[in-house]
Chains A and B, each alone.
Chain A
Amino acid sequence: MEHSLQGNACAYQQLLVLLTVAVRNAVRGRARAAGVDPEDIVQEVLLALHLKRSTWVRGTPVAPWVAAIARNKIVDAFRRRGHRIEVPVDSVLETLWIDEVETEGQAHDLERALAKLNGRQRDVVRAVSLEGHTAQEVATRLQMTEGAVRVTLHRGLKALAATFRAVPNED
């Protein structure tokens, strides 16, 4: 986590993969019971963890921080879908680190949110995520400066999170 916050992309990617597994475990059971695609919520939690990573305090345990953010997002997500649920932090904390790796990894909410971004932001987010380009490659392809790509990517991600928050689920 410490390396990730200093801008080490490699460490950060590994951390995100680990966190995804953890969050997935925490979300799955409850989401199934509520008839919601768990991966939608996993992605929302991941976005929140990413955008709020500055609120983790160096040297403190990571798990409670992840659990608090995840819990907040889980409760939010269910509430938007019309379920009122109580999620004790402890239960999130317990399920975070179960060893179970199973990737389904497809979701629909994010796609819908992506469709709401403005053109440039969508292009950049897609190029980086789907095609796995680096900021530099995207910059050459879209004829932007690398700095502009970074800014656009960041704004795009923030906009994604905002859309998640604002749009009540439509299905």
Chain B
Amino acid sequence: MRCPMKTEELIRALAADGTQPVTPIGRTLWRALAAGALLSTALFFLILHPRFDIARAILTLRFDFKLMVAACLALASAIVLHHVARPASIARHRWLLYVAPVLLAGGVFVELATTPGASWSERLIGHNAVHCLSLIPLLSLPSLACLFFALRRAAPLRPPLAGATAGLASGGVGAILYALTCPDDSPLFVATWYTIAIGVVATASTFGGGRWLRW
């Protein structure tokens, strides 16, 4: 039996491995998000296309609102993710996660107040909820994979939380893309089906975080 490795020897190995400048984890995460969004967009154009009346849709409040909520969610979770990914980081940015849900709740309230009750169920059920439920997770997958890949380098004190946050961020990206093709603009539809779809992504990635993001 050889004599045990001394700590001094370990330090020598670590120092020898530390001769290259280190990329800060924050930059790694932003790059991963950009790459992921790009891949998700590529996937979008591969299997889908923006709706044909998009030039007109973009002038309507409901369509823009839908995009804005999704963008809010993606951005806010990306910011929170930067803090969750590091040890010794303060939790003061968590409130950002509430922005998108609060906005959406406001949208639902306005929708209910301004449209006749008879049209509510039609607005809620929309044209194709199954599409929404399957395409949002599918479109968010490339982004999620990139974020997880980057997070393997991070040091989250709570890996499941890091996984969940990454899931929300990539779910947001998937929702932005899906929103471009989805013909249903009512906040009632968005609040129901988009939320379920993103929830599925976040739940799966919470478990994924517990499994793959330990260090």
Are B11 and A65 in contact (CB-based, < 8 A)?
no
- Contact of A12 with B86 at beta-carbon distance under 8 Å, contacts A57-B26, A105-B8 already known: no
- Contact of A47 with B14 at beta-carbon distance under 8 Å, contacts A7-B20, A72-B87 already known: yes
Q: Is A79 an interface residue (CB 8 A)?
A: no
The interface bits of chain A over 98-131 (1 if a CB of B lies within 8 angstroms of the residue's CB, else 0) are: 0000010111101100100000000001001110
Count residues of A near B (Cβ-Cβ below 8 Å). Answer: 53
Residues of chain B from 25 to 42 with CB closer than 8 A to chain A in the complex: 25-26, 28
The size bracket of the interface on B is 35 or more
Are A48 and B22 in contact (CB-based, < 8 A)?
no
**Measured between alpha carbons, how far is A60 from B88 in the docked complex, in Å?**
10
Q: Which of B13, B85, B86, B89 touches A129 (beta carbons < 8 Å)?
A: B13
**Measured between alpha carbons, how far is A58 from B153 in the docked complex, in Å?**
17
Closest to B15 in A: A13
Are B155 and A69 in contact (CB-based, < 8 A)?
yes
The interface bits of chain A over 126-146 (1 if a CB of B lies within 8 angstroms of the residue's CB, else 0) are: 001110101100000000000
Q: Is B119 an interface residue (CB 8 A)?
A: no
Residues of the A chain whose Cβ atoms lie less than 8 Å from the Cβ of B154: 52, 55
Residues of chain B from 193 to 210 with CB closer than 8 A to chain A in the complex: none
Are A65 and B87 in contact (CB-based, < 8 A)?
yes
- Distance to closest chain A CB from B180 (angstroms): 35
Closest to B20 in A: A7
Q: Is A5 an interface residue (CB 8 A)?
A: yes
**Measured between alpha carbons, how far is A129 from B20 in the docked complex, in Å?**
18
Are B25 and A54 in contact (CB-based, < 8 A)?
yes
The interface bits of chain A over 25-69 (1 if a CB of B lies within 8 angstroms of the residue's CB, else 0) are: 000000000000001001100111011111111101000110111
Residues of chain B from 2 to 30 with CB closer than 8 A to chain A in the complex: 2-26, 28
- Distance to closest chain A CB from B182 (angstroms): 38
Q: Which of A5, A55, A103, A110 touches B10 (beta carbons < 8 Å)?
A: A110
- Contact of A165 with B214 at beta-carbon distance under 8 Å, contacts A6-B21, A54-B24 already known: yes
24 A-B pairs, CB-CB below 8 angstroms?
A9-B16, A9-B19, A13-B12, A17-B11, A42-B7, A43-B5, A43-B10, A46-B7, A46-B14, A50-B14, A50-B18, A52-B87, A54-B23, A54-B25, A55-B155, A56-B86, A57-B26, A68-B88, A106-B4, A107-B5, A114-B5, A129-B10, A134-B16, A153-B16
Closest to A44 in B: B10
Residue of A42, A54, A72, A135 with most partner-chain B CB within 10 A: A54
Contacts A12-B14, A20-B7, A69-B88 known; 4 new A-B pairs at CB < 8 A: A13-B11, A13-B15, A43-B10, A52-B153
